Copies of this chain bind each other. A is one copy, B any other.
Amino acid sequence: MKYFAGIDLGGTTIKGGIVDRENRIIYSKSIDTVVERGFEAVAEDIAKLVEELLIINNLEMDDIEYVGVGSPGAVDTKSGKIYFSGNLGWENVELGGYLKSRLKKEVYVGNDGACAALGEFLCLEDKNVDSMAMITIGTGVGFGFIFNGHMYDGATYGGGEFGHTTLVFGGEQCTCGQKGCIEAYASFTALIRDATRFASDNPKSCIAQIVSQNGKINGKDIFEAAKKGCPDAQMLTERFIEYIGAGIVNIINMLDPQVIVIGGGISRSSDYFLPKVIKYASENVFCRQAKLSEIRVAARGNEAGIIGAARLGDYIK
């Protein structure tokens, strides 16, 4: 059994891949999630995608060690049950159980941010690293923490929800129902909300011009406008980077991992934001006398989620 099947389940697409023992993806394929169809239809599509990945690669079920799935939300990695996922609209669904009985194979399910962190961790060149945190800045703020070479998810699988720790007590509404979560400040959804609000309040601003030209604005537009010299976009991105920096400072003050990896769409603008984030962190961590965690951008892009899911069974408790 030389291979592993990894599934990166998202609100929009389901990415699947066959991964070898050297953590290389030998084949991958994406399908649409169409989450409105409900749990069983999505779970069945995951099962079919695994079967298809095997057929395309001329593999039998016996050629893979196990199937791993990274899913949004709070996941009981022991039972494969998803307690809650706002993105998927699921509560208390037995994804692991469904796939196990459907595929007659060992199945592991973990949080998607934790799987992405594991994928990046497995691809680190420095094999002496045994503690690594990853934040993924996208529609939300994903998180994963590797400690002592294992995935950290807490006593009852409620841990690792860094995106829903409070950065601004009583602040902006978060999708999780709480107020002031880091996700409500350091995600692209939050940046777009702030830019749209700013454009509406300042109709003559360069941000308002982009909104009126395109009908809306996205994170890429804002970062590009900042690079081109739009002062409003610069103000918005600077503040956005401060929120990300403050989140990273919280991670360091709490966990102090050797390495912090930043992933998601923002990693494509790393030349612009990474030096600023490192500067913010070095100036604002509590213990400036100790060595700062190494802060870098993700190396594996979208592949990390598949790789981490594929190897999940070897890195959970």
Give A114-161 interface residues, CB cut-off 8 Å to B. Answer: 131, 147-148, 153-161
Task: Tell me how far the C-beta of A25 lies from the nearest C-beta in chain B, rounded to whole angstroms.
Answer: 29
Cβ contact within 8 Å between B256 and A154: yes
Number of copies: 2
B286 touches A176 (CB 8 A): yes
- Chain B residues contacting A178 (CB-CB under 8 Å) are 284, 286
Chain A interface residues toward B at CB < 8 A: 74, 76, 83-84, 91-92, 131, 147-148, 153-162, 164-169, 171, 176, 178, 185, 243, 246, 249-250, 252-258, 284-293
- Contact of A158 (CB < 8 Å), options: B84, B91, B158, B252: B252
Contact between A253 and B161 (Cβ–Cβ < 8 Å)? yes
Q: How far is the CA of A168 from the CA of B284 in the complex (A)?
A: 14
Q: Give bound CA distance, A171 to B170, whole Å.
A: 12
For this complex, 22 residue pairs linking A to B, each with C-beta atoms less than 8 Å apart, are A74-B290, A84-B289, A91-B289, A131-B154, A131-B155, A153-B256, A154-B256, A154-B257, A157-B287, A158-B286, A158-B287, A158-B292, A158-B293, A159-B252, A159-B255, A161-B253, A161-B254, A165-B249, A166-B246, A169-B171, A169-B185, A169-B246
Is the Cβ of A290 less than 8 Å from the Cβ of B254?
A: no
**Which residues of chain B come closer than 8 Å to A76, judged between CB atoms?**
290
Q: How far is the CA of A171 from the CA of B246 in the complex (A)?
A: 13
Residue of B nearest to A92 (CB): B289
Q: Is the CB of B285 within 8 A of A158?
A: yes
Contacts of A91 in B (CB 8 A): 289
Most buried by B among A159, A167, A252: A159
Q: Is the CB of A286 within 8 A of B253?
A: no
A17 to B242, CA, bound (A): 45
Docked-complex contact A243 and B169, CB < 8 angstroms: yes
Give min CB distance, A304 to chain B, whole Å. Answer: 21
Given known contacts A154-B257, A159-B252, A254-B159, A167 and B164 CB-to-CB distance under 8 angstroms? no
In the docked arrangement, what's the CA distance between A183 and B166, Å?
14
A interface secondary structure, majority: loop
Closest to A249 in B: B166
A86 smallest CB distance to B (angstroms): 9
Of the candidates B83, B252, B288, which one forms a contact with A289 in the assembled complex, judged by CB atoms under 8 Å apart?
B83
CB distance from A141 to the nearest CB of B (A): 12
Alpha-carbon distance A169/B288, docked complex (angstroms): 19
In the complex, A84→B290 CA distance in Å?
9
Point out the residues of chain B lying under 8 angstroms from A167, CB to CB: 166-167, 169
Residues of B within 8 A of A84 (CB): 286-289
- Asked if B156 contacts A291 (CB within 8 A), the reply is yes
**Could you tell me the distance between the alpha carbons of A165 and B166 in the complex, rounded to whole angstroms?**
10
**Cα of A252 to Cα of B167 in the assembled complex, Å:** 15
Which 9 pairs show the lowest CB-CB distances between chains A and B?
A: A154-B256, A159-B256, A83-B289, A74-B287, A158-B256, A161-B253, A164-B286, A158-B287, A155-B258
Docked complex Cα distance between A185 and B158 (Å): 25
